[in-house]
């Protein structure tokens, strides 16, 4: 039986590579399903046949544990996101200047996406939120936010550093210091209904192995150790 | 059942959007449907197919391509910019355009079929009664195509109300401007605020049910004014 | 062409056979633009198609249609149907299903040429006897009611040329008797020429001045009803009731008997009084089967009219050996009689 | 009810007026289930509605319809249209637009009662003269062509009762002359009763044994054509061409003259030879307008038939003062004559 | 232009899903459309409205409710489980059910309108030709409603192909089982694999274009076999 992973959409590219490596190492097949964390959460609640849930946040895996839908002790932080302000065109001057000059600022929906929440917190801690509020357009998730900037409909946007690394347009990046926002931790849990818990635990261990964590970092994340 | 001001704003926006889109679509689709119903041109097949094309792509993906096309770098966007239009994405106008594109086939098709069903006889009769092409279109073809228009309005309206992916992409989810009710419900669901999602969904369905039941109830069997005692 | 087409309806149609239909039409008609012209011919001979060409509903490149020198169709182009001042009564009625009977009539009235409102709404309603059904939709009307509404609609458009495709087919005798004289009067009063398709020779002869006989898309006969009916051996005389039409002047009227007398060629003939007056010139049709031949003048018969004539020609009907058609001459006026071969033999009828 | 309805078509319909239509129908007919019954009446009098009730296309609770004691409609229920062994020729044709003419015919043949294949495809095609148009769609046919296909279709379903709603209205004389005798022969050969709506008295009298006259949804006259035509003063005689039908035996035939002689009531009368043989009992119709009255027997006239008769009754037509209707008795056989008032006066015609 | 095995799997799945859904919908909608076209019942309005109801909700939200309903805790799901059916969510069967629900109005409406346009005359003529209700439905109503069926098939098929929200929610995006091409394209876009997304989108549009252009090209002006020289 293949191990079935439910993975938040922002982690598609890394997980594809990791799954391949796991397969090569152990000979076990892996099936990947993607979706927003909210959808995957609802699906697990209603009996989706997943073994492991790799969320884009910590809250949802915790909620699953609380509802006895996930193994209590299985939760791990497998990746930490890095927030970046990105533009296709060069950005000059201070962060404040850039924000003031922009016409449209893309962020992910703060209510739904950890990157969105982080972006909002950063803006607030920079005391910019109130002045730029009206210029903000929201992507449903971090993928859409990226597309807003990519298509240049928004001149700048708060995206994941991992996206900028993966994308075909590099543009200009300003890294946002991580102390300006709460951590963008991505947690994984083993689903209670899994009929493959042994393998699942094996994969969780694999995921947290230092060499694998290094690989994750190369996609633009901070590792669990940071 | 308390609705937040944001919910109310979304409802209002949705109604405005759906009504406007339906209205514009009906106006614009009428000549297109007319042409498609009457022409013998080889272009008929291809154009019909193009009309249905937006349906085939997932809405968010369609939205992405629209963003590319309408953005400052996109051919259409650049052109619109040059002739002095403000950018369409992230505006209500953009929502209207995107929704129209996506609901187009549901409005064209019923009207087109209704025009086909009319045939040429009533139009010929009108022509011999000094009715110009325009006049006979207005006073003969349109009234006879009424059932098709009702269908078109219903499908177009309902589809625009529920439409979501394209609107999300093009609209940028700006409260009171582009955040329609479907996005609002979606947000509630994604944020696991299921209670609010249920309330809004129920409200929306109830409203739609009343509107639709009324519209359909009024759609008579126009073709045959009931035959006394007829059995078929 | 330098033909005098001033007061003419000129219709030349060449519609070739297509892959859809082996039917081809090739007609060349020059019709007077006054009075009634009847289009006569078997089912499928092309009568409806001709009307459609005149109305502009069908067009073909090699056609020419003009009325009083107004060209509607020529190689140079085509006037669209709604700009041709015609009224068309379709064979199938073609009422607007979404409008009531009255709605159908109002549709026509709104678009009528207001300059020439000769035909009044109430008059037409009364004549067609459709006041009671004005609020009904076409689907709620009987066949004859639909047809009457269609006629009324075509009249109310105030046409300058009326095209009627078997307008009275679904109507009963009584109604026909009401409608026919009106149409007759109308075409005189308003000077509206009528092109009239009918299967009923009775109707045709009653109404028509001119007539065209069609066969398989070709014209086999055309001319004044007057002269066509008197000709033997035309394709037309195959139709059962050969007859002649005589014109004359009304010379006497006796109200007591409800009769008028017509004088022609030094002969008089009594007929049922209508609305003619003394000295009017009118036409009567005499059907060949109503004419009997007697060698002696007999006063004991209920037959009122006796005309002296000589036998001009006799012809045996190849399809009906029991019948002889006799052409008589009363002065210069031809009269046809249809008698049994046996009678002809007994009376020894032969060309004088 | 203990009526002898064995060989009867029994039709009682009460269709009340509705909010849709002020028309109400209330008829009670007991018709022989052989031969042809004509339904006669003004436009809008309810003829089509009656046929629809018999076919089961309209139903009303208080109706009763049965043929030869098979109940089709009663208070107890209703046999659905497709289980009634009828053939229906609609006033409007109602061909299937998605099928060719041939497709329409095959549709009927596939569903025909195979037990009684009396009417053959080729025969019908030939008769209706529609072989050339079999591959065309209804929209590509002329009005008359459509009507002929519709008749053919109704025949090919091999009906036990044929309902015909003005089937020949759009056909020309020649075609009618071909089709009518066939229908006549058919109803005898296959013993199929026909209920025939027509505006043409000619057709009616030619075909019908029985007749029903309708007025505003009510029956005003019904009975044998024979007796109805002979009655003066019925609502029926308002229709122009009053006539009588006489039955008799063929006693002589002379091929040379194309004539046969019929003997009735000790009188003989010559008529155009058809396909009857000596000793056949047949019917002839004599139109009142074809009868002239003479006081002396005159041998110099082309009028072949002379019948001795006495004047039984004379009646002035209130609407037409110029005409007198005379009822004559030739033995016991009534004969009607229509003569001018002037002639009647001159001949001093009065009841003997 | 190389397609991965997953892409090919998604394409195959999509074709299977869309064809099956269209076929099933046409079969199931026919009696419904027939009833709606002919009935005088007061239920007509409400039922028509209910059919259009799924349109009004955003697809993912609709999917969410379907999940609630069909999941093991849902009333329908529990019932199906009791009578021995395997659970519908996260299976191909579930996709079929959900897509049918969502595309229903686009199939019902054109067929219903086509039935209305037929009127009673041809059916009456058939009834007098010993054609039973079933027979005349098959051989008269169906052929005459052909343009409506073509519209229904096109709209139903295209809408199912592009549909995405419901399918994602109910299907769970499982490769080779519920990951249809629209989800695959969406995933490519999310993973910023725009090249692959473009390729797949183009392919899909090209394919749809050819199919639709063909279908429409064959949709003749059935009602009127061209009149020689007719001008209207
Ligand atoms: N569907 C209907 N709804 C309401 N009224 C109707 C309907 N069909 C017919 N009628 C009315 O019923 C009356 C009888 O109609 P019917 O068709 O039986 O007449 P008919 O005798 O066949 O006349 P015609 O010779 O003109 O065909 C008419 O006055 C007509 O207006
Ligand atoms: N739309 C069409 N397509 C192909 N052939 C047609 C079309 N309309 C008519 N025809 C053919 O053209 C011929 C003439 O038709 P038309 O309608 O002019 O006849 P008609 O003289 O009016 O006959 P009727 O007295 O039966 O109405 C017929 O043989 C018919 O089959
Ligand atoms: Mg015709
Ligand atoms: Mg009728």
| Cβ C133 under 6 angstroms from ligand 1 | yes
DSSP state, residue A177:
P
Q: Do chains D and B touch (3 or more CB pairs under 8 A)?
A: yes
Distance separating alpha carbons of residues E21 and E16, to the nearest angstrom? 8
Which residue among C177, C293, C300 sits closest to D296, beta carbon to beta carbon? Answer: C300
Contact B129 C107 (CB under 8 A): yes
pLDDT at A161: 93
CA atoms within 13 A on the CB side of C131: 8
Q: What part of B 84-143 touches C (C-beta under 8 Å)? A: 121-122, 124-133, 135-136, 139-140, 143
B223 CB-near residues (< 8 Å, 6+ apart): C97, C139, E116, E117, E119
Residue nearest ligand 1's atom 13 by CA? D44
Question: Does D112 score more than 70 pLDDT?
Answer: yes
Q: Are D246 and D236 in contact (CB under 8 A)?
A: no
pLDDT digits (tens, 9 = 90+) for E71-105: 888 888 888 888 877 778 889 999 999 999 989 99
A159 CB-near residues (< 8 Å, 6+ apart): A83, A84, A86, A106, A115, A142, A145, A146, A149
Residues of E in contact with C15 (CB under 8 A): 228-229
Task: Assess A67–B contact: CB distance below 8 Å, yes or no.
Answer: no
More confident residue, C90 or A1: C90
- Give the number of domains in chain E: 1
Give the pLDDT band of residue E136 (cuts 50, 70, 90).
Answer: very high
Contact E129 D57 (CB under 8 A): no
Contact B216 E45 (CB under 8 A): yes
Q: What average pLDDT does range D179-197 have in this prediction?
A: 80
| Cβ E226 under 6 angstroms from ligand 2 | no
CA C194 to chain CA centroid, nearest Å: 8
Distance from CA of C86 to the nearest CA of B (A): 7
Residue nearest ligand 1's atom 28 by CA? D44
Residues of E in contact with C78 (CB under 8 A): 231
pLDDT at E230: 59
Q: Which of A167-176, D24-33, D254-263, D290-299 has the lowest mean pLDDT?
A: D290-299
Does residue E139 fall inside a structural domain?
A: yes
Q: Do chains B and C touch (3 or more CB pairs under 8 A)?
A: yes
pLDDT at A185: 93
Rounded to 5°, the CA angle C292-C298-C302 comes to 70
Distance separating alpha carbons of residues D158 and D86, to the nearest angstrom? 8
Residues of C in contact with E229 (CB under 8 A): 15, 53, 58-60
A213 CB-near residues (< 8 Å, 6+ apart): A223, A224, A225
For D18, the closest chain B residue by CA position comes to B228
Q: Are A83 and A184 in contact (CB under 8 A)?
A: yes
pLDDT at C248: 83
**Model pTM?**
0.85
Does residue E232 fall inside a structural domain?
A: no
Question: Does D40 score more than 90 pLDDT?
Answer: no
pLDDT digits (tens, 9 = 90+) for D133-170: 999 999 999 988 998 999 999 999 989 899 999 877 77
E66 CB-near residues (< 8 Å, 6+ apart): E89, E97, E98, E101, E166, E169, E170
Please give the share of chain A, as a percent, with pLDDT higher than 70: 99
pLDDT digits (tens, 9 = 90+) for D70-111: 899 988 889 999 999 999 999 887 899 999 999 999 999 999
The CATH number assigned to the domain holding E153 equals 1.10.3720.10
pLDDT at D237: 52
Does residue B227 fall inside a structural domain?
A: no
Interval between CA E173 and ligand 4 midpoint (Å):
64
Domains of chain D: 8-229 (3.40.50.300), 243-346 (no CATH)
Cα dist from B191 to A59, A106, B51, D61, E152, whole Å: 11, 20, 36, 63, 36
Which range of residues forms the domain containing residue B38?
5-221
Residues of E in contact with C81 (CB under 8 A): 231-232
Q: Which of A23-27, B76-80, C176-180, E194-198 has the lowest mean pLDDT?
A: C176-180
pLDDT at C272: 83
Interface partners of chain D (CB pairs < 8 Å, 3 or more) are B, C, E
For A40, the closest chain B residue by CA position comes to B190
DSSP-derived pairing of the beta strands C310-317 and C281-287: unpaired
Q: What part of E 207-226 touches C (C-beta under 8 Å)? A: 225-226
| Cβ D217 under 6 angstroms from ligand 1 | no
Does residue E193 fall inside a structural domain?
A: yes
Does residue E226 fall inside a structural domain?
A: no
List beta partners, residue C9: C31, C67
Residues of C in contact with D132 (CB under 8 A): 22
Task: Assess B227–D contact: CB distance below 8 Å, yes or no.
Answer: yes
DSSP state, residue B230:
B
Does residue B24 fall inside a structural domain?
A: yes
Distance from CA of E122 to the nearest CA of A (A): 51
Residue nearest ligand 1's atom 17 by CA? C142
pLDDT digits (tens, 9 = 90+) for E32-60: 999 999 888 888 888 888 888 888 888 88
Does residue E21 fall inside a structural domain?
A: yes
More confident residue, E230 or D65: D65
Task: Assess C140–D contact: CB distance below 8 Å, yes or no.
Answer: yes
Q: What average pLDDT does range D307-333 have in this prediction?
A: 81
pLDDT digits (tens, 9 = 90+) for A23-69: 999 999 999 999 889 889 999 988 889 999 999 999 999 999 999 99
Q: Which residues of chain C have pLDDT under 50?
A: 1-2
How many residue pairs bridge chain C and chain E with CB atoms within 8 Å of each other? 25
pLDDT at B226: 42
pLDDT at B221: 45
Cα dist from A82 to A125, A209, A211, C214, whole Å: 17, 20, 19, 92
How many residue pairs bridge chain A and chain E with CB atoms within 8 Å of each other? 71
Q: Are E48 and B209 in contact (CB under 8 A)?
A: no
pLDDT digits (tens, 9 = 90+) for E157-185: 988 988 888 888 888 888 888 888 888 88
Question: Does B184 score more than 50 pLDDT?
Answer: yes
Q: What average pLDDT does range D32-36 have in this prediction?
A: 82
pLDDT digits (tens, 9 = 90+) for D212-227: 989 899 998 888 876 7
Q: CB count, 10 Å around CB of D340?
A: 21
More confident residue, C56 or B212: C56
pLDDT digits (tens, 9 = 90+) for C76-96: 889 999 999 999 999 887 899
DSSP sequence for D221-284:
EEEEHHHHHH-SSSGGGGSS--EEEEEEEEEEEEGGGTEEEEEETTEEEEEE--S--TT-EEEE
For a mutational test of ligand 2's pocket, the pick from C23, C51, C204, C213, i.e. the residue with the most ligand atoms closer than 8 A to its C-beta, is: C23
Contact B227 D58 (CB under 8 A): yes
Residue E175 token pair: 């490769």
Distance separating alpha carbons of residues E205 and E162, to the nearest angstrom? 10
Residues of B in contact with E204 (CB under 8 A): 56-57
Does residue B154 fall inside a structural domain?
A: yes
| Ligand approaching nearest to the C-alpha of C52 | 2
Distance from CA of A91 to the nearest CA of E (A): 23
| Cβ C143 under 6 angstroms from ligand 2 | no
């Amino acid at each position: 039986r293949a191990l079935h992973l439910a993975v938040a959409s922002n982690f598609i590219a890394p997980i594809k590579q990791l799954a391949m490596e796991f397969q090569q190492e152990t000979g076990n097949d892996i099936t990947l399903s993607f979706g927003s964390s909210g959808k995957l959460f609802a699906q697990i609640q209603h009996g989706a046949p997943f073994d492991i849930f790799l969320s884009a946040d910590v809250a949802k895996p915790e909620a699953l544990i609380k509802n006895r839908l996930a193994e209590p002790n299985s939760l791990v932080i497998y990746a930490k996101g890095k927030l970046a302000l990105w533009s296709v065109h060069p950005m000059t001057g201070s962060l404040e200047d850039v924000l003031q000059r922009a016409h449209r600022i893309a962020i992910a929906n703060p209510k739904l996406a950890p990157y969105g929440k982080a972006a909002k917190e950063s803006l607030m801690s920079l005391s910019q939120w109130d002045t730029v509020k009206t210029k903000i357009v929201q992507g449903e998730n971090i993928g859409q936010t990226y597309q807003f900037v990519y298509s240049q409909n928004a001149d700048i946007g708060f995206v994941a550093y991992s996206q900028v690394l993966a994308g075909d347009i590099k543009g200009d990046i300003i890294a946002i210091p991580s102390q300006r926002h709460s951590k963008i931790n991505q947690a994984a849990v083993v689903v209670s209904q899994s009929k493959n818990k042994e393998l699942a635990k094996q994969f969780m261990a694999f995921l947290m192995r230092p060499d694998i964590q290094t690989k994750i970092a190369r996609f633009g994340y901070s590792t669990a150790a940071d | 059942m308390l609705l937040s001001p944001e919910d109310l704003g979304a409802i209002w926006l949705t109604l405005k959007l759906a009504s406007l889109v339906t209205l514009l679509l009906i106006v614009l689709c009428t000549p297109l449907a007319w042409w498609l119903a009457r022409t013998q041109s080889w272009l008929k097949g291809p154009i019909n197919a193009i009309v249905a094309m937006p349906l085939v792509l997932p809405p968010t993906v369609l939205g992405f391509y629209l963003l590319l096309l309408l953005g400052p770098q996109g051919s259409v966007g650049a052109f619109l910019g040059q002739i002095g239009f403000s950018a369409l994405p992230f505006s209500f106008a953009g929502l209207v355009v995107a929704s129209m594109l996506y609901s187009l086939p549901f409005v064209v098709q019923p009207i087109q079929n209704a025009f086909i069903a009319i045939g040429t006889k009533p139009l010929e009769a009108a022509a011999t009664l000094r009715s110009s092409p325009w006049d006979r279109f207005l006073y003969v073809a349109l009234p006879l195509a009424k059932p098709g228009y009702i269908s078109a309005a219903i499908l177009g309206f309902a589809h625009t109300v529920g439409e979501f992916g394209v609107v999300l992409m093009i609209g940028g989810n700006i409260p009171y401007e582009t955040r329609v009710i479907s996005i609002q419900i979606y947000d509630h669901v994604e944020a696991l605020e299921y209670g609010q999602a249920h309330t809004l969904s129920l409200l929306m369905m109830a409203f739609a049910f009343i509107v639709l039941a009324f519209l359909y109830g009024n759609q008579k069997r126009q073709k045959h004014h009931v035959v006394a005692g007829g059995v078929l | 062409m330098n033909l005098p087409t001033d007061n003419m309806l000129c219709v030349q149609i060449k519609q070739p056979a297509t892959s859809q239909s082996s039917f081809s039409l090739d007609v060349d008609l020059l019709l007077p633009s006054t009075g009634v012209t009847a289009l006569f011919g078997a089912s499928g001979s092309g009568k409806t198609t001709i009307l459609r060409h005149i109305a502009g509903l069908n067009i073909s490149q090699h056609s020419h249609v003009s009325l009083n020198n107004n060209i509607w169709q020529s190689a140079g182009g085509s006037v669209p149907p709604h700009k041709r001042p015609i009224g068309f009564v379709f064979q199938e009625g073609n009422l607007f299903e979404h409008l009531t009977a009255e709605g159908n009539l109002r549709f026509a009235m709104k678009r009528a040429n207001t300059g020439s409102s000769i035909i009044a709404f109430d008059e037409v309603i009364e004549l067609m006897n459709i006041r009671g059904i004005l609020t009904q939709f076409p689907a709620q009307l009987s066949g004859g009611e639909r047809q009457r509404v269609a006629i009324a609609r075509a009249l109310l458009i105030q046409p300058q040329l009326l095209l009627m495709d078997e307008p009275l087919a679904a109507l009963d005798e009584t109604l026909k008797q009401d409608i026919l004289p009106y149409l007759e009067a109308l075409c005189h009063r308003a000077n509206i020429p009528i092109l009239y398709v009918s299967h009923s020779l009775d109707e045709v002869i009653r109404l028509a001045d001119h007539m065209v006989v069609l066969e398989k898309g070709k014209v086999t006969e055309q001319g004044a009803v007057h002269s066509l009916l008197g000709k033997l051996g035309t394709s037309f005389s195959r139709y059962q009731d050969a007859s002649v039409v005589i014109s004359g002047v009304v010379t006497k009227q006796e109200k007591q008997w409800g009769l008028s007398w017509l004088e022609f060629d030094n002969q008089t003939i009594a007929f049922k009084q209508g609305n003619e007056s003394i000295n009017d010139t009118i036409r009567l049709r005499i059907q060949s089967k109503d004419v009997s031949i007697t060698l002696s003048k007999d006063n004991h018969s209920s037959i009122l009219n006796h005309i002296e004539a000589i036998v001009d020609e006799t012809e045996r009907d190849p399809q009906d050996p029991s019948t002889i058609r006799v052409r008589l001459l009363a002065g210069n006026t031809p009269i046809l009689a249809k008698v049994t071969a046996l009678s002809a033999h007994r009376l020894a009828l032969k060309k004088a």
